[in-house]
Amino acid sequence: MTALWKQLQRVQVIHARGTPTSGKSILARLLEEHVKRVRPDMLVYLFNWPASVEGFEYSNYYHLLNKITKEPKTRSDTWLKRQNTLIIVDEAQRSYKFLNFWDEFIKPLASHDEISPFVIIFSSYGSPSEAPVASSGGSAPVELTTDQRVSIQRLSYTNSSVSLYFTRDEFDDVIARSCRYYSEQDGNPFLPSLELLQYIWEFTNGHPGGVRAVLDMLIQSEVSIS
């Protein structure tokens, strides 16, 4: 989490893309908690892009943001100039058709380092390439650098230092926390063997949803020892 926040402060905008159950929503909430803890002066907006924003497809981005965040009406440049502000958007694949949001808000933020809000966008679908959405009206497309893109895994053509999959250290931490939690809840020790943990790691490849599914199955299973 520290690495992700450090990266976001450096590049201003990050587009994180991963399949469903890859841990995006959890990561979004953890980032919100982390930033509020380390930067109590920071105003943090965390929201899911609505499934339907009727009549706003061709509206200016600030009307969209005002509606979604329930903020009062603002001038067109207010959101672009907000300091000490972090905007976290989950389910952002729904925003792809709102081209003004990408062209007039994301593109300026991604292309310069002046004081302005930090924005991280979590999408279940779409391209992890440097141009995540099509341009409109013949204008230049939104272009994101390698450091402004995060995928499920650490990839050479996206961000090599941050990904949605667990590292082995993160996986071991999740296992340790799960063992403590379920042992306390049930009153019975939940202690998978080292061989089983290695199998889970290799089987899931660090996929957060996969790790959780396997752990839930093991915890709910009935095992008899003779």
What are the tens digits of pLDDT across the range 112-130? 767 789 999 998 876 656 5
pLDDT number for residue 1: 76
User: Is residue 140 predicted with pLDDT exceeding 50?
Assistant: yes
CB burial of residue 143 (10 Å; 0-12, 13-18, 19+): middle
Give the pLDDT band of residue 226 (cuts 50, 70, 90).
Answer: very low
d(CA 114, CA 65): 20
Exposure pattern of 5-41 as b/e (b: 16+ CB <10 Å)? bebbeebbbbbbbbeeebbbbebbeebbeebeeeeee
53-97 pLDDT, tens digit per residue, is: 766 666 788 888 888 888 887 666 688 888 899 999 999 998 988
Q: Name 20's bridge partners.
A: none
Rounded CA-CA distance 159/67 in Å is 32
- Residue 132 vs residues 7, 22, 79: alpha-carbon distances, Å: 19, 19, 21
Amino acid 225: pLDDT: 45
Q: Could you tell me the fold of the domain covering 2-150?
A: Rossmann fold (3.40.50)
Least confident of 75-84, 99-108, 174-183: 75-84
* Spans of all domains in the chain: 2-150, 168-220
- Pick from 29-33, 83-87, 164-168, 222-226: least confident: 222-226
Predicted local distance difference test score (pLDDT) of residue 135: 63
pLDDT of residue 224: 45
The pLDDT value given to residue 208: 78
Is 42 exposed, middle or buried (CB count within 10 Å of its CB: 0-12, 13-18, 19+)?
middle
Please check the confidence at residue 43 and state whether its pLDDT lies above 90.
Answer: yes
Which residue, among 137, 123, 134, has the nearest Cα to 27 in the 3D structure? 123
Contact (CB, 8 A) for 40 and 151: no
Q: Which residues lie closer than 8 Å to 159 by C-beta, 6 or more apart?
A: 7, 14, 146, 147, 148, 149, 150, 151
The beta strands (E) that lie in 63-206 are given as: 85-90, 118-123, 149-150
